[in-house]
Amino acid sequence: MAHTFWRPLLITAFFVLLLDLFYGTMVKQTAERGAEITYSRFRAELAANNIIKLTLRGKSAKGQFRTAIKVPAVSVEQKGQDIDVTNFSTILPSIEDPTLLPELSARRVDVNVVSTEGSTMGSIILYLLPWFIIIGVWLFVMRGMRKQGPSGMMGGFARSGAKAYTSERIDVTFADVAGMEEAKQELREVVEYLKDPRKFQQIGGKVPKGVLLVGPPGTGKTLLARAVAGESGVPFFSISASAFIEMFVGVGASRVRDLFASARKMLPSIIFIDELDAVGRSRGAGFGGGHDEREQTLNQLLSEMDGFDPHTEVVVIAATNRPDVLDPALLRPGRFDRNVVIERPDWRDREKILKVHTRRIPLAPEVDLSVIAKGTPGMTGADLEGLVNEAAILAARDNKLVVGLDELERAKDKILMGGERHMVISDEEKRITAYHEAGHALVARLLPSTDPVHKVTILPRGRALGVTQQLPEDDRYHYPRAYLVNRLCVALGGRVAERIVFNDVSSGAQSDLKHVTELAEKMVCQWGMSEKIGAMTFPRGEEHPFLGMKLAEEKTFSEEMAWLIDQEIASLIHSAEGKAMELLSGNRSKLHALANALLEEETLNGERVDEILATA
C-alpha cells in the first residue's frame, strides 16, 4: 500500500525537479548570451569605446558593454519597446577582419578566447540527455505497472472503487425487507448456495451466476441485494455501473477485472452492480461507433461472468429499471439467467413496509396502518419511507411526542398532491377553481364504477390551484372499458362545470386534457377498445413499464390508419365530455352546493362531500 502511494509522488517530484533544472539552465544561458546585435552595431560600440569584455568561441562572440544600450525587445509582452542591455552576443563574419584584434587591444578590451575542440560531442550529449532521462522514467513506470497489474496504473486509478462489506458490517436480512415474498423466495436459493455450495456441486447442480432485479425506482432492489448478503454471511461488493466508465480507454475493463479479482479473493462472495443499464446497453446502439469504451467494459463483464472457470462461487446481482435496453448476451443462461421482477407493493405489502419504517417511531393509539396503506396506492417502499419521515417531521414541528393520524394524512397529501402553497388568489379565480373541482367530484360521485372521492381542496398544492383526489378501494390490475370511460368523464368534469357556470373555459384544465388524451390514446392504440378499429395495437410512443416514460417507436401503420386512430381518440373524448355535460346540467343544484361549500371550507373529505350532496 505504501509502495503504491509513494510511487506517483516520487515520479511527480522527479519531473518537477527536471523541469526546474531545464528552465534554470535556459534562463542562465539566455542571461549570459544577452541581446543579439549585428556585427556593424558591435564595431560601432567598439569604436565608441563602450565594450569592456569579449569572449570569442569560433565565429561567435559575446561580451559586456561599458554603458547599457537600448535595443528592441523580442518578448511578446514588451514587443514594440526598447530595453536597456549590458550583455550582448554577435556572429563574426566568415572572412576574417584583420583590424579587429588590433582595435580590441587598442581599446584595452578584456578578450577571452575559448577553444572549440570537443564542443560538437558535448552539444550532442546535451541534446540527447533529456530524451534518455524521459525514456528511462517511462520504462520505470511501465515496469511498475506490469508488476502490479491494472491497479498499478497511476497509483490505483484503474481500481474498481467498489465498496466492500464483510458479514459483520451487513445487518440487513430478509426480515427487514417487508413484502416481496416471491422475490425473496427466488433469492433464497442463492442464499442456500452461498452457505453450502458443495451441496449443489455434489449432485451437479448449478445456481444462477447472475440475478437481475428488475422494477421501478424505489421498490427496494438494492435493499434486497443487501439482505441476500446479510442472510448468507458472505462479503458483499457494491458498485454503480456508471463508476466503470471513464474518459480514458481501457479503464472500465480494468476496473471490471479488478472487481472480480477482489471478489475471488474472498470466496464465496456477492457482487452487486446498481443501474446496470449504464454499462450493459446493447452493443452498437449508440452514436459513438461500434467499439467505444462502454462496449469494452461490457465485453469484459461478459467474459468475467462466464469465463473458463465454472465454479468461482461469485454471484452477481444487478439492478435496473431499463431491462429493454440490455444486451441480449447479458440475459442468456450462464450470465444473468434469472430475472426477478419487483413490482410496486399492494396494500398488504404496503402495510408491512409501514410497520418496518415505524418500528422506531412512536405512534398514537388511533393510528391504523392498514388505513394508510389502503390510501397510498402506487407508492413504493421509498415513497412510504418518505411518508413516515415527513409525518415525524410534522409532529416534531408541532412539538408532539407521538405521530398521529393527522400527521400521517398531511404527509400523504403532501406526497400525493404536493405541498401547500400560500399564495394570494382573487375571489373570481377562487370561484372558478371551486366550480372546477366541484365538477370533478360531482361527476365521480354520480357515475358508477369510479374510485371514491377521498378529498377535494381549492388550496393551491404543487403546481395545481386545486386538487380532487380519488383513491381506489383496492389495488387494480385490470381496467374494464366502462371504468376507463368514466375516468375520462371525471377528468373532463371540471372543464364542463366551467362552461356551464361561466359559459367559458380556462387554462386550468391543461393537466386534465393531457391525462384525457393519453388515456384515450391507450384505449385505442394499446387496449383495443375502439369499436371501429377493433382488437389491434399500434405503437405510438410506447410507455416504459417501469419508468412511465414514452419511448420512440417506428411507425408501422398507414396514414389512413393514423387518421382513423385520431378520429377514434377524438370520438372517445367528445363522447365523455357530452356525458359529463349531461350529468352536471341535470344536477346544477348539487354543483352549486358543492362549490359554495368549497369556497367556505376550502377542503372537503369524502364523507363531507357525501353529506353535502345528500342534502342538496
Alpha-carbon span 360 to 350, nearest angstrom: 17
Residue 218 among known ligand-binding residues: yes
Residue whose C-alpha is closest to residue 251's, from 279, 277, 231, 270? 279
Contact partners, residue 27, CB within 8 Å, separation at least 6: none
Strands (E) across 353-475 are located at 453-457, 467-470
Active-site residue set: 437
Residue 155 among known ligand-binding residues: no
Task: Say if strands 453-457 and 603-605 run parallel, antiparallel, or are unpaired.
Answer: antiparallel
Amino acid at 428: E
Residue 196 among known ligand-binding residues: no
Alpha-carbon span 464 to 81, nearest angstrom: 69
Residue 220 among known ligand-binding residues: yes
Residue 436 among known ligand-binding residues: yes
List residues bridging with 468 in a β-sheet.
456
List residues bridging with 269 in a β-sheet.
314
Residue 217 among known ligand-binding residues: yes
Residue whose C-alpha is closest to residue 494's, from 509, 515, 484, 513? 509
Q: Label residues 102-131 b or e (16+ Cβ within 10 Å = b).
A: eebeebebebeeeeeeeeeeeeeeeeeeee
Residue 70 among known ligand-binding residues: no
Residue 216 among known ligand-binding residues: yes
Write the DSSP string, 468-527: EEE--SS--S---HHHHHHHHHHHHHHHHHHHHHHSS--GGGHHHHHHHHHHHHHHHHTS
Residue 208 among known ligand-binding residues: no
Bond preceding residue 480 cis, omega within 30 of 0:
no
Residue 512 among known ligand-binding residues: yes
Annotated binding-site positions: 215-222, 436, 440, 512
Annotated binding-site positions for ATP: 215-222
Annotated binding-site positions for Zn(2+): 436, 440, 512
